[in-house]
């Protein structure tokens, strides 16, 4: 029998994403971003994001269908991110998905955005192992999740208590005079820097902090520490060694992320670590994760960068896993839940 053909809609933040998959094969991944409309405000404005989703939705659905070479009537189910995310932004995607499901008389699947970040890896590496830890690191989230079975859900183990990892990269980039979004620029600059030039603090790693926050992250102290260090240099009229600071900062972030991720795997007895989110593109994080996980007997999976960022393909990928597992669809009264646990 033919694998199910699933369309997925993602509108939890500023990307309008529509993806189409057949089984675990990606057929189309159309994304329209309103990031430029937000740039002049210096952050995502929820009202602006909602309006942009409304305008981009139908053209993006059309584009995805054209790329995949399918008609809406060919679809077997519609999946949509129902949370967590910006309430008004989610509502646009959920309403669009309901309209499609109703008019096509096809089942609707409301999915968790974080679980979708995990499921997207099926498109690159096949089935998600039964029993893995997922570390999601982006501009919006930094979470450790336990995944027994992706079609059942994900269980939050820990998350950032202040800034997200990507946010820390972006803020430090600004301190160093690098462009926005800063992550890729810090990554590039760090390649020519000395990782041991300064030792910046590793948040929530002291014995006392580990008691309460074993699997949580904190990056705001690190960011402040880098800013202070740079300011002191400037005050003294000295040049700021951007490459070295970038490398030392990146080292601190990657050290904490990989340490806690491996500890989470050990805690659960899982032998697989999956890394997703925009920061998963970081070259040092990938290298360090592979090195340390190999030592610990843990296999690492990282989807390609294009699949790590917010998109519709990840939603379609999770929808497809649900359909394949025979999970019951959502009611057409499906609400958007902006505060689902992250
Ligand atoms: O997943 P994403 O595209 O969007 C959301 O935040 O939802 O993640 C974007 C974040 C930004 O903070 C960006 O600076 C960071 O991912 N990022 C990186 C790298 N590429 C993107 N951070 C570190 N190293 C990179 N190579
Ligand atoms: Zn995301």
* pLDDT tens, residue by residue, 37-89: 877 776 788 999 999 999 999 999 999 999 999 999 999 999 999 999 999 99
The predicted pLDDT at position 40 comes to 75
Same domain for 70 and 146, yes or no, is no
Same domain for 144 and 292, yes or no, is yes
The predicted pLDDT at position 63 comes to 98
Distance from residue 208's CA to the centre of ligand 2 (Å): 31
Say which CATH number the domain at 234 has: 3.30.420.40
The predicted pLDDT at position 141 comes to 87
Q: Is 110 in the pocket of ligand 1 (CB under 6 A)?
A: no
Residue 80 marked as a ligand binder: no
334: which 2 tokens? Answer: 């499906």
Same domain for 140 and 55, yes or no, is no
The predicted pLDDT at position 340 comes to 81
Share of the chain above pLDDT 70, in %: 99
Distance from residue 231's CA to the centre of ligand 2 (Å): 32
Q: What is the ipTM of this complex?
A: 0.98
CB of 186 closer than 8 Å to CB of 219: no
Same domain for 170 and 107, yes or no, is no
Could you give the CA distance from residue 232 to residue 295 in angstroms, rounded to a whole number? 39
Same domain for 157 and 286, yes or no, is yes
Give a yes or no: residue 283 inside a domain. yes
Closest residue by CA, ligand 1 atom 16: 278
Q: Residue 128: how many CB atoms within 10 A of its CB? A: 24
Same domain for 100 and 158, yes or no, is no
Give a yes or no: residue 253 inside a domain. yes
The predicted pLDDT at position 42 comes to 67
Same domain for 105 and 155, yes or no, is no
Residue 125 marked as a ligand binder: no
pLDDT at 217 over 70: yes
Band (pLDDT 50/70/90 cuts) for residue 95 is very high
The predicted pLDDT at position 293 comes to 98
244: which 2 tokens? Answer: 């070295």
Instruction: Name the residue range of residue 115's domain.
Output: 5-120+311-324
Atom number, ligand 1, closest to the C-alpha of residue 141 = 6
Burial (CB count <10 Å: 0-12, 13-18, 19+), residue 333? exposed
Distance from residue 170's CA to the centre of ligand 1 (Å): 8
Same domain for 43 and 188, yes or no, is no
Residue 126 marked as a ligand binder: no
The pTM of the full predicted model, rounded to 2 decimals, is 0.94
Give a yes or no: residue 184 inside a domain. yes
Instruction: Tell which wins on pLDDT, 35 or 29.
Output: 29
The predicted pLDDT at position 77 comes to 98
Q: Is 164 in the pocket of ligand 1 (CB under 6 A)?
A: no
* Domain total in the chain: 2
Give a yes or no: residue 298 inside a domain. yes
């Amino acid at each position: 029998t033919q694998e199910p053909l699933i369309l997925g809609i993602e509108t939890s933040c500023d990307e309008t994403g529509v993806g189409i998959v057949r089984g675990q094969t990606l057929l189309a991944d159309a994304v329209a971003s309103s990031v430029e409309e937000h740039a002049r405000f210096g952050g995502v404005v929820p009202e602006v994001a909602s309006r942009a989703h409304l305008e981009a939705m139908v053209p993006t659905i059309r584009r995805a269908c054209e790329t995949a070479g399918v008609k809406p009537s060919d679809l077997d189910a519609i999946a949509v991110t129902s949370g967590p995310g910006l309430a008004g932004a989610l509502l646009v995607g959920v309403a669009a998905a309901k309209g499609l499901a109703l008019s096509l008389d096809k089942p609707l699947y409301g999915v968790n955005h974080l679980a979708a970040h995990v499921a997207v890896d099926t498109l690159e590496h096949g089935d998600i192992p039964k029993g893995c830890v997922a570390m999601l690191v982006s501009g919006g989230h930094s979470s450790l999740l336990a995944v027994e079975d992706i079609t059942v859900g994900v269980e939050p183990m820990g998350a950032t208590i202040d800034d997200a990892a990507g946010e820390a990269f972006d803020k430090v980039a600004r301190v160093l005079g690098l462009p926005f979004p800063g992550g890729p620029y810090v990554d590039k600059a760090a390649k020519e820097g000395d990782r041991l030039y300064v030792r910046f603090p590793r948040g929530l790693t002291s014995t006392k902090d580990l008691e309460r926050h074993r699997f949580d992250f904190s990056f705001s102290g690190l960011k402040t520490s880098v800013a202070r260090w740079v300011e002191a240099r400037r005050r003294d009229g000295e040049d700021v060694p951007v490459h070295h600071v970038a490398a030392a900062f990146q080292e601190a972030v990657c050290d904490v992320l990989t340490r806690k991720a491996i500890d989470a795997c050990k805690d659960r007895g899982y032998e697989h670590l999956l890394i997703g989110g925009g920061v998963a593109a970081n070259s040092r994080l990938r290298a360090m994760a592979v090195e340390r996980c190999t030592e610990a007997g843990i296999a690492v999976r990282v989807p390609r960068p294009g699949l790590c960022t917010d998109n519709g393909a990840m939603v379609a990928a999770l929808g497809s896993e649900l359909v394949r597992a025979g999970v019951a669809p959502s009611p057409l009264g499906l609400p958007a839940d902006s505060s689902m646990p992250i």
